[in-house]
Structure 1
Amino acid sequence: MPDSPVVERIAPEFEALLPRFFEISKGDAEEMRTALNNGDFETLNRLGHTTRGTGCGYGFKGMGEIARSIELAAKARDFDKGQEQIGRLFRYLESVQIEFGE
């Protein structure tokens, strides 16, 4: 069953930054996929950690939760879980709905 779109409430001052935020986040997700496919769990862990912090910093709690799962998969060297969570991250980035407000 596909994940339902998540609605995140984001502070209005971030609105102008979001196009670049999503561009970078999608690039990071691609790097995660490459790291996982190369068995580079250290890089996957680092990217997951950075993504968690950045996502939460902007108010994207769902992104932070997914990134935390990616970190845990990397620490466990669990390829299948990493692949599953990276897929979730891509779907999240494509489908998240944003409401602006405090």
Structure 2
Amino acid sequence: MPEYPEVERIPSDLEELLDRFFVVCRQEVVQMRDALQGRDYNTLVRLGHTARGTGSGYGFKGMGRIGHDIELAALEQDSDALERHVDSLARYLDTVQVEFDG
């Protein structure tokens, strides 16, 4: 498990989008917790996949890794692992430090 906070290098042209990005990501964590409580693994697969793609697309490699872990745990219907990974994603979003390229 990575040390927190992680430092991610993000293209500077994405800087103006980051506030909204973090709002949406935190909303998705709430949706993940709701889906986990309801044992809605299909929603967790989708949200994990979204976190993986969105995180990686913006340059948040740690988020991409965690999203992948959520997706895999949801496919396996492993509630304990899902809880750990969703908590990890929430902690990541709260602590990640951003440095801008260019």
Task: State the TM-score, normalized to the length of structure 2.
Answer: 0.96
Matched with 2:17 is: 17
- Paired residue for 1:45? 45
Asked if 1:81 corresponds to 2:81, the answer is yes
Output the CA distance in 2 between the equivalents of 1:72 and 1:2.
19
1:3-30 CA deviation, whole Å, 9 max, x = no partner? 4210000000000000000000000011
Distance 1:2 1:69, change over 3 A: closer
Show structure 1 runs of 4+ deviating over 2 A. Answer: none
Q: Which residue of 2 aligns with 1:34?
A: 34
What is the match of residue 67 of structure 2? 67
Letter in 1 for 2:37: N
Q: Which amino acid aligns with 2:76?
A: A
CA 1:3–1:56: 2 relative to 1, 3 Å: same
After superposition, give the CA deviation of every residue in 1:17-64 in whole Å (9 maximum; x if it has no partner).
000000000000110111011000000000000111011000000000
* 3-state SS, counterpart of residue 8 of structure 1: strand
Structure 1: distance between partners of 2:23 and 2:58: 14
- Given the alignment of the two structures, is residue 58 of structure 1 paired with residue 58 of structure 2, yes or no? yes
In structure 2, distance between residues paired with 1:49 and 1:16 = 24
Structure 1 unpaired stretches of 5+: none
Q: Secondary structure, in 3 states, of the residue corresponding to 1:36?
A: helix
Which letter does structure 2 place at the counterpart of 1:48?
A: G
Residues in 2 aligned to 1:61 and 1:88: alpha-carbon distance in whole angstroms:
14
Q: Which amino acid aligns with 1:16?
A: E
Q: CA RMSD in A?
A: 1.4
